[in-house]
């Protein structure tokens, strides 16, 4: 290939944001900010440091409320704020929020949805606008917040999906890397045939510690979910996570929620993940298991059990690719389904 063409190709790649991206120590896809900062702090006493790694540790600590960091500069107080814009492309097995195609046979009766009520699947192009940041309260306590809006258009159909979400947490340092956590969030999803609004609040405790060459986080607390038009759900959550200085990380979460006490209408969900680097770029492999009580249809209990497996990968800076498969097995066969997970997100702007 002529040298001039090679230069043009390289220039096009850089223009599109396809810069080589390397995994960094104590970081990974979706790793808790406190755990990452704690891991970097532990590395100071065991690994030779450069000015760049010292600066990264200093910034990580100031973002989670330790205003002095490692005293690499003057104390940093107040707000850390970012605005992002990201084109997205993905696949949805239910773009319009419709019903499965087929016949619902239950209690000796048969029901067939109208054609305009049947779910539509396909590819979506969209743009996501968001803002997120932290506000330091000092002495290791801080607030974090996020807000986002996503508009997606089906590629081959006249269908749109709009999503809006916002939330925030208060992380209050109790000393010795023990935290009191309080969070609240709200999400809205608008499809042609479906509108979903959900609120969630949580209250719990977290602890961070190290053993051998790993840093750990354990969090546990209470949940309150409020889907609009449905009964409130109360429950518990437990999450355990670890990370090493080489970026190897993993964890498990478990949630159990109840619509009505003592144990009627209960839901369970869990996630197991393992992350690290593939070709020196961040990767995370995950598996989700869930059981959801969806109520009764003509006196028949509908319980959906969902299994999801997949991976997220960062092939280039600012790109996140997610691939996988979701399978739902319902006690009412009509609602059983399988679908792929396909998404690609590029953070085009950040300021």
CATH number, position 287: 2.40.160
The token duo for 113 is 């949805």
Give the separation between CA 332 and CA 346, rounded to whole angstroms: 39
- 284 pairs with which residues across the strands? 275, 312
Quick check: is 25 in a domain?
no
Average per-residue pLDDT in the chain? 89
Give the separation between CA 24 and CA 281, rounded to whole angstroms: 9
Quick check: is 74 in a domain?
no
What is the pLDDT, as a whole number, of residue 229? 65
Quick check: is 295 in a domain?
yes
Report, as an integer, the average pLDDT of 319-331. 96
* % pLDDT > 70, the chain: 91
Quick check: is 203 in a domain?
yes
Is residue 262 predicted with pLDDT exceeding 80? no
Give the separation between CA 119 and CA 193, rounded to whole angstroms: 9
* Sign of the Cα pseudo-torsion (39, 42, 47, 51, in order): positive
pLDDT band at residue 24 under the 50/70/90 scheme = low
Report, as an integer, the average pLDDT of 178-206. 96
Lowest-confidence range among 95-109, 221-235, 313-327?
221-235
Is residue 5 predicted with pLDDT exceeding 50? no
Q: Which residue has the tokens 């499965």?
A: 100
* Nearest-5° Cα angle at 127, 229 to 155: 90
Peptide bond into 262 cis (omega under 30): yes
Give the separation between CA 214 and CA 35, rounded to whole angstroms: 10
Quick check: is 67 in a domain?
no
Give the separation between CA 11 and CA 16, rounded to whole angstroms: 9
- Single out the residue of 211, 289, 286, 285 nearest to residue 254, CA to CA: 289
Report, as an integer, the average pLDDT of 33-53. 90
Compute φ and ψ for 41, nearest 5 degrees: -65, -40
For 264, other C-beta atoms within 10 Å of its C-beta total 9
Is residue 147 predicted with pLDDT exceeding 70? yes
Is residue 274 predicted with pLDDT exceeding 50? yes
More confident residue, 272 or 228: 272
Is residue 162 predicted with pLDDT exceeding 90? yes
pLDDT band at residue 20 under the 50/70/90 scheme = very low
Give the separation between CA 125 and CA 113, rounded to whole angstroms: 28
Q: Which residue has the tokens 């979506």?
A: 124
Q: What is the pTM of this model?
A: 0.87
The token duo for 135 is 């506000």
What is the pLDDT, as a whole number, of residue 228? 73
Is residue 11 predicted with pLDDT exceeding 60? no
The token duo for 278 is 């593939």
Is residue 330 predicted with pLDDT exceeding 80? yes
CA 149 to each of CA 83, 84, 87, 97: distance values in angstroms, whole numbers, following the listed order: 12, 11, 12, 19
What is the pLDDT, as a whole number, of residue 319? 93
Give the separation between CA 233 and CA 231, rounded to whole angstroms: 6
What is the pLDDT, as a whole number, of residue 258? 85
What DSSP element (H or E) covers 63?
helix 51-63
Q: Which residue has the tokens 């081959």?
A: 156
- Single out the residue of 142, 131, 151 nearest to residue 180, CA to CA: 142
The token duo for 334 is 């009509």
What is the pLDDT, as a whole number, of residue 46? 83
| Three-state secondary structure call for residue 61 | helix
* Structural domain span for residue 137: 79-350
Report, as an integer, the average pLDDT of 238-263. 86
Quick check: is 61 in a domain?
no
**How many CA atoms lie less than 13 Å away from 193 in the CB half-sphere?**
15
Percent helix, strand, coil in the chain, to 5, is 10, 60, 30
Quick check: is 10 in a domain?
no
Q: Domain total for the chain?
A: 1
Exposed, middle or buried, 92 (CB in 10 Å: 0-12/13-18/19+)?
A: buried
More confident residue, 57 or 228: 57
Quick check: is 296 in a domain?
yes
């Amino acid at each position: 290939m002529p040298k001039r063409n090679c230069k043009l190709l390289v220039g096009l790649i850089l223009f599109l944001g396809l810069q080589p991206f390397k995994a960094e120590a104590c970081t990974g896809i979706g790793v808790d900010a406190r755990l990452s900062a704690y891991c970097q702090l532990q590395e100071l006493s065991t690994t030779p440091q450069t000015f760049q790694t010292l600066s990264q540790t200093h910034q990580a600590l100031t973002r989670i409320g330790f205003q002095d960091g490692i005293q690499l500069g003057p104390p940093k107080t107040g707000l850390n704020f970012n605005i992002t814009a990201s084109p997205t492309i993905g696949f949805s097995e239910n773009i319009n929020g419709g019903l499965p195609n087929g016949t619902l046979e239950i209690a000796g009766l048969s029901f067939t949805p109208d054609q305009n009520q049947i779910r539509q699947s396909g590819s979506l192009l969209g743009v996501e606008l968001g803002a997120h940041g932290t506000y330091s309260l000092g002495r290791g306590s801080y607030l974090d917040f996020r807000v986002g809006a996503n508009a997606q258009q089906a590629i081959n159909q006249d269908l749109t999906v709009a999503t809006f979400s916002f939330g925030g947490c208060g992380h209050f340092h109790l000393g010795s890397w023990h935290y009191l956590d309080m969070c609240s969030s709200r999400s809205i999803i608008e499809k042609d045939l479906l509108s979903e609004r959900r609120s969630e609040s949580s209250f719990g405790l977290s602890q961070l510690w190290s053993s051998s060459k790993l840093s750990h986080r354990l969090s546990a607390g209470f949940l309150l979910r409020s889907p609009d038009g449905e009964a409130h759900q109360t429950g518990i959550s437990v999450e355990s996570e670890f990370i090493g200085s080489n970026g190897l990380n993993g964890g498990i979460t478990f949630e159990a929620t109840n619509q009505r006490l003592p144990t009627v209408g209960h839901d369970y969900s869990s996630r197991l993940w393992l992350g690290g680097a593939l070709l020196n770029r961040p990767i995370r492999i995950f598996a989700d298991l869930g059981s959801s009580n969806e109520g009764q249809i003509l006196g028949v209990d509908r319980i959906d059990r969902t299994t999801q497996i997949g991976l997220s990968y960062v092939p280039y800076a600012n790109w996140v690719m997610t691939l996988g498969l979701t399978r739902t097995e319902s006690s009412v066969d009509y609602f059983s389904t399988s679908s792929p997970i396909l998404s690609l997100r590029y953070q085009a702007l950040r300021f």
